[in-house]
Amino acid sequence: MANSTPENSDGSAPWDSKRNPTGKHLFRRSLSWFSGLALVVLIAWGLWPKPVLIETGKVQRGPLTVRVSEEGKTRVRNRYIVAVPVAGRMRRVPFKPGDEVKAGETILTAIEPVVAPLLDPRARAQAEAVVSMREASRKQAAESLAATRAASLMAESELQRVRSVTRSGTVSQSDRDRVEMESSMRASEVRAAEFAQQVAEYELAQARASLERPESSGIGNLVEVRSPVSGRILKVMQESEMVVAPGQQILEIGDPADLEIEAEILSRDAVTIHPGDSAEIDQWGGENALKGRVCRVEPAAFTKVSALGVEEQRVIVLSDLVAPPELAKALGDRYRVEVQVAVWHAENVLIVPAGSLFREGNAWKCYLFENGKAKLTSIEAGHSDGRHTEILSGLNAGQEVLLHPPDTVKDGTAVTQRSD
């Protein structure tokens, strides 16, 4: 059997020398190496830290005004409440809120006597019993008057007899004086009995009147309620006709053109406000803010519960409008506004956007933007109006600071400005 010689897949013997690789084989081998290297570069580039996108603001000099802002409302400076002067039946009020009235001329309403109340069976029986008692008293007084008159006639006859015999000297002077006194006393008793009879008759008439229900008449017994001041009606408390008691409120009158601004400000902010401070009135319905001036800070605070359920001590601060425009005349009583009172002002201070500052412990700090990196800087801050803050030390005019830096920014972190 013949020996067979082994051969490679390309037909060459194993002991034959290997052929040199061709250019095609080298390209394939280098392509795999380049692909791996590119993948490593891409991974390294992806893991390499990128600059953080930030926004910056400039440190500059300018004016700064610190204001206390609070919701407020307008109110009529002088308001008058018209009340019922006497008890009776008030007629219907013909006026509506906004109607104009004149002092001493406009009749707001009128009050007339009320009709006697109805009597229930028990009250009527009691009234009838009182009438019967008064009739008996009148009869008793009449009988007493007749008795006193008879006694008076007897005393008068005795006096005449004494006078007739006094001339003859048979009656002493003392007896004559006694008889004259007796006659005078009897005459006085007659007059007293006559007055008692009149009283009994009046009491009887009064008792009978309680059983009657006469119709009320305003003729000669009508009280007109006139406007005490000139102005406009702000509110009508009682419009319909009804029986009223003295002191019951009818309506409220004031001058809507004479307005002041009322704001309930926290007591810790109110201590920095003084009469004469300037104020701005916003959110009143016009485009531009209204100018105002604080006229009074009330000395007493009151407790008010906020929307979050927190008890707060607040103080009422009143402001006057200064030269309001024509459009502001449309404001009325109890309109909502926004009040901003200036408590501090400086014309030329170093200011920075308030959004660039943050606290670390008790110190104020910010990040400076220098050469594409964030630099942590400690500063000393002063007054702030919520948008800008006064810088006392630590920054210079012209420097740029990071606005609202994210948590990923640290001292030395690479940052880049956000392009608009």
Given a contact cutoff of 8 angstroms between Cβ atoms, the answer to whether 381 and 64 are in contact is: no
Question: Could you give the CA distance from residue 200 to residue 203 in angstroms, rounded to a whole number?
Answer: 5
Burial class (CB in 10 A: 0-12, 13-18, 19+), 96: exposed
Task: Decide if 200 contacts 144 (C-beta within 8 A).
Answer: no
Question: Would you state the pLDDT for residue 296?
Answer: 94
How confident is the model at residue 37, as a pLDDT? Answer: 77
We report the CATH number of the domain holding residue 104 as 2.40.50.100
Q: What is the pLDDT of residue 44?
A: 67
Q: Among 304, 319, 346, which residue terminates a domain? A: 346
Residue 343 φ then ψ, to 5°: -110, -10
Structural domain includes residue 171: yes
Does residue 292 share a domain with residue 246? no
DSSP 324-339: --GGGGG--TT-EEEE
Q: For position 7, what pLDDT does the model report?
A: 53
Q: How far is the C-alpha of 72 from the C-alpha of 283, rounded, in Å?
A: 10
User: Of 389, 382, 314, 301, whose CA–CA distance to 353 is shortest?
Assistant: 389
Torsions phi, psi for 22 (to 5 deg): -85, 175
Two structure tokens written together for 201: 């008759």
The structure's pTM equals 0.61
379 and 246, same domain (yes or no): no
Ranges of the chain whose pLDDT falls below 50: 1-2
Name the domain count of the chain: 4
Q: Domain of residue 268: give its range.
A: 67-74+256-346
| Paired residues of 138 in beta bridges | none
In terms of domains, do 153 and 269 share one? no
Is 28 inside any structural domain? no
- Sheet harboring 79-83: ordered strands across? 79-83, 249-254, 231-236, 100-101
pLDDT of residue 317: 96
